[in-house]
Structure 1
Amino acid sequence: MAHVQTVLGPVATSELGGIMHHEHLLSLTPGPWLSGGPPARARSDAPTPDGADMRARDEAQVEVAVAALGGLAELGIGTVVDLSPYGVVGRDTHGGNVALLQEISRRSGVHVVAGTAVYLEPYSPDWAIEATLDEMAERFVADVIDGIGDTTVKAGILGEQATGLGVITAHEEKCLRAAARAQRETGLALITHTTHGTMALEQVEILAEEGADLSRVVIGHMDTQADAGYDRAVLDTGVNIAFDTIGKQFWDFVVEPLPDDLPEGEFTKQAYFRSDHSRARRIAALVADGYRDRLLLAQDMTGVEVYLNSTTHGEWGYSYLGAAFADLLRQHGVTDADMTTMLQHNPARLLTQMSG
């Protein structure tokens, strides 16, 4: 039977509805002041909040996520994929808080699929840094078969597996290869994170070396770079690509955490602008050129960035993609059938597993 592994168990592919394939449901508050206390950092000796603080934080995160998902049903979107890697953007160091996704799914009525991955090296937990390639592959496979971390929540997809800005560190290559090996063993699709669209072709080369099924690979965040020719070069390797930061028109360019000993006073930071009009034009052009069946769409929305995008994520939340941005796509000639393919059929195909 064709099914998708959600956090509450297998669900028939036909029941998914529209799918936001790259989100972070436990990262919707802009800071710990709205979520009951600071989470433990992935690579820090900071004290962990006590039990009462942890329960208050968890409940606040669940409530925020359930409220944020409230407008999706009327847009035909019934499934959200949470691609939070270990130790960052909503996933704690060992993955235990993935169980909160079950409560979010129960209360909201939205199907939630959990991924498993490790993020960029500066944000990776110590245990992942120290793991061998074989150990990382075994961890990912266990997350699919047994459950993520110490939970019984099984991963329904691999990702977002990350590489850096213009570089793939030895650790990031190790984890990417491990994810490819886990894909070969489990058959799950694999989604990557490119930092501002860089190293996409290098990711594909590594995955191909490991024997990954490229038709079940999604190269992520391709909309954060501006070269339409690069889009096509990546697609022509046989992979899928994602325009999955829709609504993030303004973005602080943070590749590594700020140092704890940052001196007082002015400092330089990088930021970027990528208009949704340019995203819509590029999607329309790719659809016209016959790539519709290998394009995926999402918002990658996190609370820490909402303040920079008050007219997109700040105003619309998760509804932005299916409402305002869908209208923008129509203005560029993308049809409702095209959008159904990109928002439903393509991610459903990648999420689907077969069982006897």
Structure 2
Amino acid sequence: MEQQNENAPVPRVQTVTGPVDPAELGRVLSHEHLLALTPGPWLSGGRRGGADGAEESAAAFDREQVELAVAALGGLAAHGVDTVVDLSPYGDAGRDAWGRNTALLREISRRSGVWIVAGTATYREAFSPAWVRAAGVEEITRRFVEDAQVGIGGSGVRAGILGEVPTGLGEVTGHERKGLRAAARAHHLTGLAISTHTTHGTMALEQIDLLEEEQVDPGRVVIGHLDNHPELDYLRRVLDRGVNIAFDSVGKQNWDLRLPPATDPQPDGPHTRQSLRQSDVTRADRLALLVAEGHAERILLSQDLTGPQVQQNPATHGQWGYAYLSAVFLPMLLERGVNEEQVETMMHSNPVRLLTV
């Protein structure tokens, strides 16, 4: 009989409250932002003038975000979802510039009873804090490794995935290449999987090219937001490269093209803003086709729900919140011939495999 090595590493998933046996996890929402459920801190109470007032306002906003997240997660257990991956990068989607408020995710997890996995990443240049814009690949790599091994921004909350690492609309900038290379190098040092952001599904193949240059195993990569790309054949080309893909905007049928923060005074009067639409009927049709073609083992599902997009999608996110995917979208898939085993693969087996180190 072969003797087992007692010192062999034990597979685990790193959550905000500590490492967890992968066998304990149920279904997973693989791309969310739990601290971005309100449009901004102006909705919180308690603001007064001066430094004390600013501190009080920030604390009130933190409390509000925690309460909102705990309430929003309350209905997930009924659908077998017990894990949420928060892919908020430094300085965006509810994460502060240094990642210190990642500590709030620990309180949300304990109060809601939901496992939460925190990602770490830099984001697009216009939305990034000054320290990220000034840092080189080596510094950002060191930061990601520290986030995984010690904790994000001094919060003590260790990252369990690298993401969401972005590229822009129809381009990959030097800033974005820097973030992708840093994530790739941190992946080799930590074993964490990489989850990316594509802007409306563009530049996925270019992301893969760069990660392959860095010798990243494509099976440890999730290319995000591909449910928003208009061409199904493009998704097939991405899948042919051996990566995983995410249909992670479920319920986000209407949204505005996100513009960089304005730095110059803007003139009064009407402004043109590009809006986009992707119906969930189209998402379900395309996803069912990909599953029928044998791709279920490399597809993940989520909603990418945030406060502003709740307002733009009152019949989906606005009515159902985090339950929409399970309560409404999964039945749409079953009507199109996807079976329960395939749903379980996309909602449980695939994300747990990627989160396990």
Q: Which band: TM-score by shorter chain? A: over 0.9
Q: Distance in 2 between matches of 1:322 and 1:260?
A: 43
Q: Which of residues 236, 251, 256 in structure 1 aligns to 2:240?
A: 236
8 Å contact kept, 1:145–1:154:
yes
Deviation of 1:247 after TM superposition, in Å, equals: 0.3
Deviation of 1:258 after TM superposition, in Å, equals: 3.6
- Say whether 1:8 aligns with 2:8: no
DSSP-derived class of the 2:266 partner: coil
Give a deviation string over 1:152-205, Cα, whole Å, max 9, x none.
100000000011001111011011001001111111100000001111000000
Deviation of 1:281 after TM superposition, in Å, equals: 0.7
DSSP-derived class of the 1:296 partner: strand
DSSP-derived class of the 1:197 partner: coil
Residue of structure 2 equivalent to 1:42? none
Give a deviation string over 1:11-60, Cα, whole Å, max 9, x none.
1111111000000000011333333489xxxxxxxx89622212111110
DSSP-derived class of the 1:22 partner: strand
- Say whether 1:315 aligns with 2:324: no
8 Å contact kept, 1:167–1:199:
yes
8 Å contact kept, 1:184–1:213:
no
Q: Distance in 1 between matches of 2:165 and 2:333?
A: 28
8 Å contact kept, 1:218–1:242:
yes
Q: Which of residues 219, 222, 226 in structure 1 aligns to 2:223?
A: 219
After TM superposition, the score normalised by the length of structure 1 is 0.95
Count how many residue pairs are aligned between Structure 1 and Structure 2.
346
The aligned amino acid for 1:17 is G
Deviation of 1:213 after TM superposition, in Å, equals: 1.4
- Say whether 1:24 aligns with 2:28: no
Q: Distance in 1 between matches of 2:30 and 2:41?
A: 26
Deviation of 1:319 after TM superposition, in Å, equals: 0.1
8 Å contact kept, 2:16–2:106:
yes
Please give the residue correspondences for 1:56-205 in structure 2 after superposition, counting only pairs within 5 Å.
56-205=60-209
DSSP-derived class of the 2:153 partner: coil
**Where does structure 2 lack aligned partners over 5 or more consecutive residues?**
1-9
The aligned amino acid for 2:355 is L
- Percent identical among aligned pairs is 57
Go from structure 1 to structure 2 and tell me whether the alpha carbon gap of 1:261 and 1:214 turns closer, same or farther (over 3 Å shift): same
8 Å contact kept, 1:36–1:60:
no
Q: Distance in 2 between matches of 1:214 and 1:33?
A: 42
Q: Distance in 1 between matches of 2:58 and 2:189?
A: 36
The aligned amino acid for 1:217 is V
Q: Distance in 2 between matches of 1:32 and 1:331?
A: 41
The aligned amino acid for 1:340 is E
Q: Distance in 2 between matches of 1:258 and 1:131?
A: 23
After TM superposition, the score normalised by the length of structure 2 is 0.94
The aligned amino acid for 2:347 is L
8 Å contact kept, 1:117–1:140:
yes
Structure showing greater radius of gyration is 2
The aligned amino acid for 1:332 is R
Residue of structure 1 equivalent to 2:301? 297
Q: Distance in 2 between matches of 1:290 and 1:148?
A: 38
RMSD value, Cα: 1.5
